Amino acid sequence: MTETYESIDGIRVPQFLYGTAWKEDRTADLTKMAIRNGFRGIDTANQRRHYHEAAVGEGIAAAINAGIVQREDLFLQTKFTFKNGQDHRLPYDPAAPIDQQVEQSFTSSLSHLNTTYLDSYVLHGPSVRTGLAEADMQAWLAMESLHSRGLVRLLGVSNVSLAQLELLCSRASVPPRFVQNRCYASTGWDRDVREFCTEHGITYQGFSLLTANQSVVTSTVIAAIARRYDRTPAQIIFRFAIDVGMLPLTGTTNASHMQADIAVVDFALTSQEVETIELTAMK
């Protein structure tokens, strides 16, 4: 089984992404495994602290060489990360102006991923906790330049608050098409940000859907719904995410779990079940 897709600005975007953070020496093999098991969307970052982007490229190349996919079958997303989110292995000159750092990081990403363009390029979180700094807008302008030159198809931002997202959208010439946030059930699954995204044509990408919400995943509510559909609790959470309009990420390292994750496109929850899950951790 392979991905299903939605169209964003005429670009085919898979309904599920495989996340490559924290895989280290297994990154290449797991990326190839994910593609072999049906994933066509790959998420990474040029941030060696948490990702091994070059190894993601090795896994993609191996999948292409094995005849599993061609480059145009894949949706590749990576990120620009400010220095405060990096370790000593920087993909740019930290003394360079921000726009040049973005260009250098982007060029490095193209080399790592063996591609001439990216489907999505994401600002890996604002440089400040509150509001937006000048550096954030400089980085976004540099990303807009990549977009205008046809090197990036869609832009996004991650680890962002509602107030920051509102500011960015008010100032950007090219608005974000994605927001990627860690998604906590205790906040209504990031309801405020999701509602803003829905109102402004932005696709919400949710990560840590399982790891950040273990009490919900293991709850009697999810167990009952899972029994009703003869599915796993993880599948119910991922299906819920899709049913509320999210684009979920999974970082599983298990081939059977990859297959199970992709298989959530085969069913849908009722509106009452969706509402029940959405409210579970809020009670």
What span, in angstroms and rounded, lies between the C-alpha atoms of 76 and 43?
6
Name the residue among 131, 38, 115, 124 with its Cα closest to residue 86. Answer: 124
Going by C-beta distance under 8 Å and a sequence separation of 6 or more, which residues neighbour residue 142?
98, 99, 102, 103
Please check the confidence at residue 3 and state whether its pLDDT lies above 80.
no
Percentage above 70 pLDDT, the chain: 98
Per-residue pLDDT tens digits for 44-71: 999 999 999 999 999 999 999 999 999 9
**For residue 90, what is the DSSP state?**
-
Name the residue among 226, 224, 225, 160 with its Cα closest to residue 193. Answer: 160
Instruction: Say what the pLDDT of residue 5 is.
Output: 86
Is the CB of residue 283 less than 8 Å from the CB of residue 231? no
> Could you tell me the sign of the dihedral formed by the alpha carbons of 215, 221, 227, 232, in that order?
negative
* In the chain, ranges of CATH 3.20.20.100 domains: 11-182
Name the residue among 98, 59, 56 with its Cα closest to residue 81. Answer: 98
Chain Cα centroid distance, residue 156: 9
Per-residue pLDDT tens digits for 150-188: 999 999 999 999 999 999 999 999 999 999 999 999 999
Q: Which of helix, strand or coil describes residue 182? A: strand
- CATH code of 11-182, in short, is 3.20.20.100
Helix axes 233-243, 271-280, angle to 10 degrees: 110
Per-residue pLDDT tens digits for 256-266: 999 999 999 99
Per-residue pLDDT tens digits for 8-29: 999 999 999 999 999 999 999 9
Please check the confidence at residue 246 and state whether its pLDDT lies above 70.
yes
Name the residue among 144, 183, 180, 187 with its Cα closest to residue 159. Answer: 180
Per-residue pLDDT tens digits for 201-213: 999 999 999 999 9
C-alpha separations of 20 from 29, 50, 57, 245, 250 in Å? 11, 9, 11, 22, 9
Q: In terms of pTM, does the model score above 0.85? A: yes
Nearest 5°: the CA angle 178, 73, 193 is: 10
Is the CB of residue 205 less than 8 Å from the CB of residue 154? no
Per-residue pLDDT tens digits for 104-154: 999 999 999 999 999 999 999 999 999 999 999 999 999 999 999 999 999
Q: What are phi and psi of 11, to 5 degrees?
A: -100, 130
> What band does 2 get if pLDDT is binned at 50, 70 and 90?
low
